Structure 1
Amino acid sequence: MSGTVDLTTSVVICAYTERRWYDLVEAVDSVREQSVPPGEIIVCIDGNPDLAERAAAEFVGVSVIENTGKRGLSGARNTAIDLAKGEVIAFLDDDAVAARDWLEQLLLGYRDARVLAVGGAARPEWPAGHRPELLPGELDWVVGCTYIGQPTEDTEVRNLMGCNMSFRREAFQLAGRFAEDLGRVGRTPLGCEETELCIRLRQASPGSVILFRPDAVVGHRVTPDRLTWSYLRRRGWGEGISKAQVSRTVGADAALATERDYLRKVIPAGLIRELARGRVSGALALGTVVSATAAGYLRGAVAGQRLRIRPSLPRLVHGPIHVSTVDASGAPAELSVPPRTVGTYRAAQVLVRDGRRTLDVVLLPVRDGTVRLDPVNRGAVDSPPCPAFDRPLISVVIPTAHRKQQAVASVRAALQAGYPKLEILVVDNFPPEPAGDAWLRAEVEALGARYLVEPSKGVSVARNSGARASSGELIAFVDENISVEPGWFDAVSEEFATDPSVGCVTALVLPASLETDAEVLFERLKGYSHTVQRQRLNRETAREDPLYPLSMARYGPGSCTTWRRDTFERLGGFDPLLGPGTPAMAGEDLDLFVRLARAGGTVVYTPHAVARHTHRADWLELREQMRGYGVGLSSMLVRSVLRQPVVVFSILRRVPRGLSRLASRTPELPLSDRAARARLRQLRRDERYGMIEGPLALARSWVARPRGQTGGDTPSAKPRQSG
């Protein structure tokens, strides 16, 4: 064993009834005796305070917690996920006993970095010590075990079994938590919550792998009450209803792909065998379960308008949300949250760092003015040491139009980032006076930065002009409403120094504040903090992503990126027909990413370069911004086709998946929160209406374009330098 086998682990066992007390004791003991000991064992009790008290008293060295989410297995698992500290979180049922090398075998599956989830086999432990004739091997899934038809060697699968599964922590950041409207509640035989999560994970990260390892074994106890005709009918019925719910969330093709093969191949083979051997009860059981499942599916489909699944995404509740940063090595057990003049903070978004390396971004509840920091990841970041290198000169281009004070704050933040070789250029775009803004010029030059005037309107023109006037080997574009944090330039330049093929580096951009509902809604819909895992994106690494290169926008905005100068100039810079300040309103950053990808270039996303973005705090401004994103997206797509007509086929192939992903990213809120749900729907409508306006907006951009610029070319007009 080596490498990723050394990942820190948390093992979660959920329980709800004292009737299984001795089963729970055996489950905990089996985890304690693993050949690779877990970093922690978490027992989460669902809706049974007496059981929680008993477990806390008797399980020494085990974290015993109570479910704080919705009642049920999914809520209990989500509660444990929020508190788990391991890089890998494994789940074991309370009536299952893990083989001594169970955890070791699961961890071996993570040797491949693409693997985000690993599960294993569950062998039934029958009440009488042998298989009853009532239950053929094809139906072992009914009692939560591996069934005939599943792989017998390491295989990539659609989903894992709930009693024996594990996930990288990153998986929950990508796909969210278990859907709390799915899964078992008490003895109700519903399920499919792990199926739905695994499908969501593959949709959120198309190149990822979910691995089944039959050598990772648990024994799953089967009680006599599960070997009755009534249980078979109820279990099939519940499975059908659950599958119908999953189909509505992730699509029938994804939800039923494995089941179609099961019905076509596995069930007919089982029926023939059972009848050939004269086992009528086994054949009847196969027919009973399949029929009950089909009936449950139809019932769930008919009731579809009344039943909703709300995937438990990493929750951003309504504002206000406190925004904070802690250093893992010196973080206290609790974080004090300052009081507000009006209202109180309900949650805190905490950036967890180890010096200048990012470990995690977590959302934690605020109770009585404090935040418990127990759940934060305090482990060392997996980042190889960077060899010594000469820091290159970085030119920082900050375009500004209306928010002059924010531009000055952005300059100050860049100077305070601790990088010794900076050249900062503030480009005043389309100022009212030809000579520019006297106040801004004085403030910028007092800080030692350069002040330029770009008379042609548009952020793309301003950025291109600033780049042309700069002299650095690297060009960092930082918008006026973004402030970089200490270490930002070091983290960025390190990526360029260690890999000469990198043409662009993007950063982790977090909100500067989440005080208003508009800021929170923007963060949920368009926030840039998708992952704290470093990503290297090019044709090779993203070949399995059906949205590539359009998906590159997920890894940071163009308003906070750094480019290698020769790469930027070879691509012709930002397209003046796109972006804020033009009728197209947006799309210039994605357009440049796409052109880089089609040229065979490489983008690296580093979470260690952290910046803060000031979101729109006003509801009407946010609506206009969302419309602008829609206008910019369709304008960018049309512009790509006009440049190179053959790409229309590539775009058309990606449109259905893109629309599906757009819809899946819409955050769900409780049904009772009608106002918030209405606002979310309005924002999505604004974005869709904007997409309809895009082609006409692009035409207006063409008519209003700066003289001599046709888009995607380095501007010929030189900016004017003040003074």
Structure 2
Amino acid sequence: MRCSVVICAYTEQRWDDLVAAIGALRAQTVPPDEILLVIDHNPELADRAAEAFPGVTVVENAGRRGLSGARNTAIDLAKGDVLAFLDDDAVPEHDWLEQLLAGYHDPGVLAVGGSARPVWPEGVRSPLLPARGAGTGELDWVVGCTYTGQPESETPVRNVMGCNMSFRREAFHHAGLFTEDLGRVGRTPLGCEETELCIRLGQASPGSVILFRPSAVVRHRVTPDRLTWRYLRRRGWGEGLSKALVSRSVGADAALSTERDYLRKVIPSAALRELSRLLRGKRAGGTGLAALCVVVVATALGYLRGKLAGPRLRIRSATPKLVHGPIHVATVDVRNLPLELAVPPRTVGRYRAAQVLVRDGDRTLDVVLLPVRRGVVRLDMITAGAPAPRREFDRPLISVVVPTAHRKAQALRSVRAALEAGYPRLEIVVVDNFPPGPDGDEWLRDEAGKLGARYVVEPRTGVSIARNTGAAATGGEFIAFLDENISVEPGWFDAVAEELVTDPGVGCVTALVLPASLETDAEVLYERLKGYSHTVRRQRLDRETAREDPLYPLSLARYGPGSCTTWRRTTFERLGGFEPLLGAGSPAMAGEDLDLFVRLARMDGTVVYTPHAVARHTHRADWLALREQMRGYGVGLSAMLLLSVLRRPSTVFSILRRLPRGLVRLAARTPELPLSDRAARSRLRQLRRDERAGMLSGPAALAVARRRYGSGHR
């Protein structure tokens, strides 16, 4: 389980705390896989941090000013399966991360939080924050620490504390991001953004667990300015305002459930204790009693103000964060890694970010999104681990099938890329699925012949039919299907052959598919919604996958695109090939790749996803073409599901059981590209509407396809 640790900072006044926190993270018993430091609109601090912390990814807040915007920026960039958040004035214990991650032994746990112990000025607790003995105090939450009334052992809770919390990445798919209308902005003592997110998470995923583990400890520094009467009033007022906004978002019952118990039990008990001290002549009792009253009254007034006059809360963070094109696309090799990468200038506009593929020779290490500043990307932010060792194998013959319809010149580029990939034993067939006549396209035949590829004509329209025809015309032990908009990179065939040859149980290998270009908004939106670069870790997808992914085998994102796959011929033929009723060129428009994966899963087959086989996909650059593509995805998905039920009626129960999670995942975002504006959000909503509208058309499209092609596979 990979873990990303996020620290958000906004001021150089906490520099020493920041240095201590990062030093403690580097000394953890379980080291983080990456450390992200997000600077909240302070360029001078960002430059200083980038120079001072090699190996730490330092980025600037790409959202609204404030802690929530900074955290959302980190979520967009982080690569971990678990994201842990640490305040810039909190120093973790040496086993902090180990204790947090231990809470995820149950797959139903979506968030784990720990305790925060105060580090007092000069080591002495202030009488403004009363406590029983030397333990926690009832008002310690005012300074961001664990307080009396919280559990003392591991137990499920409503929400975690902001200075010491972690979430599975899946949690943000369910609940969205932090609400940028909440949370601290600079020194303004607002809060509750983590509370509101946790409540939304519980509402979106009722069976999930938010776990509190007191053994995951951070030391939270308390500055003298927080131990004043003025700060108590401001903090209480801000808490009340925040709670009012939370109640508008998630409902008063959910927003105040824990607070009601706190006011009924914890505060009266503390008030009686402090009153008793005062009556015994202890001056501190009067101070503690007054502090309790000040905080409770200020909080109540803030809540009342927020309810009566506060603006209606809008969950801006529920909308995925996007960046406009252009984004520079690049590849670097750690064997010859420069300190900086120069980004070429553009005639119009400028690059804001760069998507960088990090490799060690032909082995993939990471894919990172880095900021572009003054035309340069700093590569010293990249931390690369050791590449996976290569397994020795004899290179077999691989048959390559490239179907093409309307983009024949692009298909030839795909063939050239395959030939330049460095694999010695290839058999390439170009299948013309839109020939101008019965004898095919003479130009395409000649050009394919010059490249050493065979030319095959398949006049029956549909990419599934074209792929099946191409497979039948080849003789290799393995069949690689590459669509006309796919270009493989060097080492691609070696990586897929390695998986198939060394493990006879693998029926199909899928690849890491990155965008060839992110120059236009349409390309960026597609990558944001349907991009295939979901992980740089090898994955084996088989019957064991169902234990960790309730949506399997309907989880297309786990497989990758069928337009860039390699199949064992015996497996492919046993499945009967691609379904002619589905796929581009058919009335159903899509769905053929997921259909084949699902049929393989039902035969207890195995798919391996390898990040070392890297290909580039040419996204739709035109907005209208992208809308049509998204509608086609919706048509294909519902047509595929209906076809599965028609083949095996009992399948309907399996689909219905997975439908709620599937809808959540369909609406989820891919946390990869930061920044946002109103126009981008509007376009994103339009694409989602197009996809849903397409799903409604799927049954009719399937009926038309069956009249045209017959009943399909059984």
The alignment's TM-score, normalised by the length of structure 2, stands at: 0.80
The farther-off stretch of 81-90 and 344-353 is 81-90
Q: In the TM superposition, what is the alpha-carbon distance from 1:26 to its structure 2 partner?
A: 6.9
Q: In the TM superposition, what is the alpha-carbon distance from 1:194 to its structure 2 partner?
A: 4.6
Secondary structure at 1:310 match in 2: helix
Q: In the TM superposition, what is the alpha-carbon distance from 1:542 to its structure 2 partner?
A: 3.5
Indicate which of 579, 590, 593 corresponds to 1:589.
593
How big is each residue's C-alpha offset from its partner over 1:188-219, in whole Å with a ceiling of 9 and x where there is no partner?
Answer: 23334456777999999999998754333223
Match of 2:381 in 1: 375
CA distance 1:56–1:585, shift in 2 (3 Å): closer
Q: In the TM superposition, what is the alpha-carbon distance from 1:21 to its structure 2 partner?
A: 7.3
Indicate which of 130, 143, 146 corresponds to 1:132.
130
Residue pair 2:155, 2:213 contacting (<8 A) in 1 also: yes
Secondary structure at 1:451 match in 2: strand
Residue pair 2:396, 2:425 contacting (<8 A) in 1 also: yes
Q: In the TM superposition, what is the alpha-carbon distance from 1:558 to its structure 2 partner?
A: 0.9
CA distance 1:295–1:579, shift in 2 (3 Å): farther
Q: In the TM superposition, what is the alpha-carbon distance from 1:571 to its structure 2 partner?
A: 2.4
Matched, 1:527 2:497: no
Q: In the TM superposition, what is the alpha-carbon distance from 1:597 to its structure 2 partner?
A: 2.6
Which AA in structure 2 matches 1:123? R
Distance 1:89 1:395 in 2: 42
Match of 2:359 in 1: 353
The farther-off stretch of 113-122 and 453-462 is 113-122
Distance 2:206 2:601 in 1: 18
Matched, 1:123 2:121: no
Distance 1:669 1:32 in 2: 27
Distance 1:415 1:711 in 2: 34
CA distance 1:401–1:234, shift in 2 (3 Å): same
Which AA in structure 2 matches 1:710? S
Match of 2:246 in 1: 243
CA distance 1:441–1:49, shift in 2 (3 Å): closer
Match of 2:338 in 1: 332
How big is each residue's C-alpha offset from its partner over 1:205-262, in whole Å with a ceiling of 9 and x where there is no partner?
Answer: 9999987543332232443237976346424324424635874xxxx7xx997x6874
Q: In the TM superposition, what is the alpha-carbon distance from 1:122 to its structure 2 partner?
A: 0.8
Matched, 1:310 2:311: no
CA distance 1:50–1:360, shift in 2 (3 Å): closer
Distance 2:446 2:661 in 1: 50
Residue pair 2:137, 2:147 contacting (<8 A) in 1 also: yes
Residue pair 1:142, 1:235 contacting (<8 A) in 2 also: no
Indicate which of 567, 570, 592 corresponds to 2:574.
570
Q: 1:568-647 to 2 correspondence within 5 Å?
A: 568-647=572-651
Matched, 1:220 2:220: yes
Distance 1:650 1:39 in 2: 36
Indicate which of 216, 221, 237 corresponds to 1:234.
237
Match of 2:284 in 1: none
Distance 2:174 2:315 in 1: 21
The farther-off stretch of 481-490 and 335-344 is 335-344
Distance 2:590 2:346 in 1: 35
Secondary structure at 1:374 match in 2: helix
Secondary structure at 1:529 match in 2: coil
Match of 1:187 in 2: 187
Match of 1:719 in 2: none
Distance 2:446 2:51 in 1: 69
Residue pair 2:76, 2:671 contacting (<8 A) in 1 also: no
Q: 1:409-420 to 2 correspondence within 5 Å?
A: 409-420=413-424
Residue pair 1:310, 1:669 contacting (<8 A) in 2 also: no
The farther-off stretch of 116-125 and 605-614 is 116-125
Between the two structures, name the one with larger relative contact order (CA 8 Å, sep ≥ 6): 2
Match of 1:648 in 2: 652
Match of 1:711 in 2: 712
CA distance 1:85–1:696, shift in 2 (3 Å): closer
Q: In the TM superposition, what is the alpha-carbon distance from 1:566 to its structure 2 partner?
A: 2.7
How big is each residue's C-alpha offset from its partner over 1:506-536, in whole Å with a ceiling of 9 and x where there is no partner?
Answer: 2111111122222222222222122223233
Residue pair 2:403, 2:466 contacting (<8 A) in 1 also: yes
The farther-off stretch of 158-167 and 511-520 is 158-167
Distance 1:517 1:683 in 2: 13
Match of 1:517 in 2: 521
Which AA in structure 1 matches 2:381? P
Q: In the TM superposition, what is the alpha-carbon distance from 1:589 to its structure 2 partner?
A: 1.1
Residue pair 2:322, 2:528 contacting (<8 A) in 1 also: yes
How big is each residue's C-alpha offset from its partner over 1:58-86, in whole Å with a ceiling of 9 and x where there is no partner?
Answer: 98999897955442234555778899999
Match of 1:560 in 2: 564
Distance 1:207 1:488 in 2: 41
- Gapped runs of 5+ residues in structure 1? 714-723
Secondary structure at 1:630 match in 2: helix
Match of 2:368 in 1: 362
Q: In the TM superposition, what is the alpha-carbon distance from 1:98 to its structure 2 partner?
A: 4.0
Match of 1:144 in 2: 144
Q: 1:461-472 to 2 correspondence within 5 Å?
A: 461-472=465-476
Secondary structure at 1:389 match in 2: coil
Secondary structure at 1:543 match in 2: helix
Q: 1:446-465 to 2 correspondence within 5 Å?
A: 446-465=450-469
Distance 2:462 2:329 in 1: 32
CA distance 1:148–1:473, shift in 2 (3 Å): farther
Residue pair 1:240, 1:300 contacting (<8 A) in 2 also: no
Q: In the TM superposition, what is the alpha-carbon distance from 1:562 to its structure 2 partner?
A: 1.7
The farther-off stretch of 325-334 and 80-89 is 80-89
Distance 2:113 2:353 in 1: 33
- Gapped runs of 5+ residues in structure 2? 277-288
Secondary structure at 1:562 match in 2: strand
Secondary structure at 2:493 match in 1: helix
CA distance 1:586–1:221, shift in 2 (3 Å): same
Secondary structure at 1:218 match in 2: strand
Match of 1:687 in 2: 691
Distance 1:182 1:147 in 2: 22
Secondary structure at 1:332 match in 2: coil
Secondary structure at 1:423 match in 2: strand
Which AA in structure 2 matches 1:404? K
The farther-off stretch of 223-232 and 677-686 is 223-232
Q: In the TM superposition, what is the alpha-carbon distance from 1:459 to its structure 2 partner?
A: 0.8
Q: 1:424-463 to 2 correspondence within 5 Å?
A: 424-463=428-467
Residue pair 1:536, 1:605 contacting (<8 A) in 2 also: yes
